Chains A and B, each alone.
Chain A
Amino acid sequence: MPRLLDFKLTIETGDRGTEGPVLFSINNHQVPLENLMGGTGPGETLEGGFSVNSFAHSLTLIGPEAGEWGIKSIKVDYNCENTEPYSVTFGEVTLNDRTEVNIWQDPPLPTFDV
C-alpha cells in the first residue's frame, strides 16, 4: 500500500441532494473536504480534496446526518507516493446517517509489454 499524498473528489449528485458539510473518513478519522467548489443539491457537482500524506488503510465518504443523499457518481483522483497518479469512478450509491461508502482503491498493478 503506497502513501496517499493527496486526493480529489468529484461527486455528482442525482435526484436526492443533501445539505450540510461533506465529510470523508481516513483511517476512521472524520475530516471535512477542503477547497470545495460546487454543491450537493439535486443535479449539482461538488469538487473537493485533501492533502493526506499518510497511508490510507481506509478511505470513505460519510453519509449525511439527516435524510438521504443519492449520488450518481464519485470520481476519485489519487496521487500516491512512487506511483503514477490514477483515478477511479464509482457508480450510483445512496448514503444516509447509517452508511459510508468506500472510496479507496489500490493503485493498478504495474504492467509491462511483452
Chain B
Amino acid sequence: MLKKLSKWFNGGSKAEPSKLSSETRTEKAVETRQEKAARIAEDIRNREAKEAPSPQQTPPASMMPPREEMTPPQEEPRQPVRRTIIQAPIVAQKKEETPDDGTIRIKAEPSKEGDSCKFMVNRSLFPGHSWYFPSFESAGGSPLAERMFSLDEVENLLIHESTATVTRKTKGHADWKPMATEIGKVIREILEAGQGVVDKKIEEDMPPAESIREEIQKVIDEEVNPGVAGHGGRITLRQVEGNTVTIEMGGGCQGCSAADLTLKQGIHNAFRKSVPFVGAIYDETDHAAGQNPYFS
C-alpha cells in the first residue's frame, strides 16, 4: 500500500507542475496535497510499525485471552493415578490333605448358587479329559452316568478328571446332603466294581486337542464374536487341554450381569453343536477386574 501511494505521489509530482500552472492551481495547493500525502504515508508507516509483532510487545487487544484466563495459573490438586488391577496366578491354595490308604474318599462341594455340587474323588474318573452328559439319553454306554440319571433329581452331569459335577433340577439353596450322600454311594459302587466311568467309544474317538482348538476358534470367530460384538463384548479362547476349553469374556461381557446366561445358553450351545467332542467349558474371566468392566 505504501509503495502504491509513493508511486502515485512521485508520478504526480513529475506531471503536476506544468499542468497546475495552466489549470490555474496555486503553488500552495500543490504543496498542501503533497504534505497530506506525506502525512498519510507517515501514518501508515507508524501504524505498520506498531502492528509488527515484537517479543516484548503486548499483543493487540483482539489477541488477548479473556479476562478469566488472565488470572495467574493456580496449582491444580494432584489427581490419584488410575492403576490397572492385574491378576497374579494362584500357585497354591491350602487344602486339607488326607493320606491315601486305599479307601475311596469323596468330598462334596455345593456351588455358591446351590444348583450344582462338585464331587471330588481321590481316584481318576476320566484321565486327561472331560465329558458332559446333558441328559439320560446321552448316558448310554457310560455306567456312572447311567446310574446317576437313575436318580430323579439329576439334570445333567459333567465329568472332568477326578471330579463329577451334578446339576439338579430343583434350583436354589436346598440342602445338598441327602442327594450328595446318594451320589457318593453311586460313585463308590461304580469304582469299587471296576466299571468304566465313561463309554470306551468316546475315549477312542476323541480327536486331538489341536483339532478341537482349531474348531472352537472357528466357532468363536464366525459365530460367537459377531453375536456378542453388538453388545461390545468379545470372547477369547485361553486354553484347550484335552477336550476341556477355557475362555475369557472381555469388553462389554466382562462384569455384565447377563454374562452367565450368555455363557451357558449361547456359547456352550454354539460350542457343543459345532464341536461335539468338547467337554468342560470354563470361564476364566475376572468379572470385577480390568480396565473397563461392564458395571464401571
Contacts and interface: CB of A to CB of B under 8 A. Distances in A.
Interface of A: 58, 60, 62-63, 71, 73-74, 86-93, 95, 97-102, 105, 108-114
Given A91-B90, A93-B88, 19 more contacts: A58-B85, A60-B85, A74-B88, A87-B93, A89-B93, A92-B89, A97-B81, A101-B85, A101-B87, A102-B85, A102-B286, A108-B95, A109-B111, A112-B180, A113-B107, A113-B108, A114-B107, A114-B181, A114-B183
Contacts of A93: 86, 88
Contacts of A95: 86
Interface residues of B toward A: which range?
Answer: 20 to 34
Contact of B91 (A91, A100, A109): A91
Residue of B93, B94, B111, B120 with highest tally of chain A CB at under 10 A: B94
Contacts of A99: 83-86
A80 to B, nearest CB: 14
B38 interface: no
B289 interface: yes
A55 to B, nearest CB: 14
B288 interface: yes
Interface of B is mostly: mixed
A63 B112 CA distance: 32
A112 B110 CA distance: 9
Contact of A91 (B83, B84, B88, B180): B88
Contacts of B183: 114
Interface in B17-72: none
> Which 10 A-B pairs give the minimum distances between C-beta atoms?
A114-B184, A90-B88, A93-B88, A89-B92, A91-B89, A91-B91, A111-B107, A111-B109, A100-B83, A87-B94
Nearest to A109: B109
Contacts of A101: 85-88
A95 B86 CA distance: 9
Interface of B: 81, 83-95, 105-112, 119-120, 177, 180-181, 183-185, 286, 288-289
10 contacts: A62-B83, A91-B90, A99-B84, A100-B85, A101-B85, A108-B95, A112-B177, A113-B105, A113-B107, A114-B184
A82 to B, nearest CB: 16
A102 B87 contact: yes
Contacts of B177: 112
B86 A102 contact: yes
B186 to A, nearest CB: 10
Contacts of B84: 98-100
Contact of B119 (A102, A110, A114): A114
A5 to B, nearest CB: 17
Nearest to B105: A113
A98 B89 contact: no
B232 to A, nearest CB: 23
Nearest to B188: A114
A109 B112 contact: yes
A113 B85 CA distance: 37
B90 A89 contact: yes
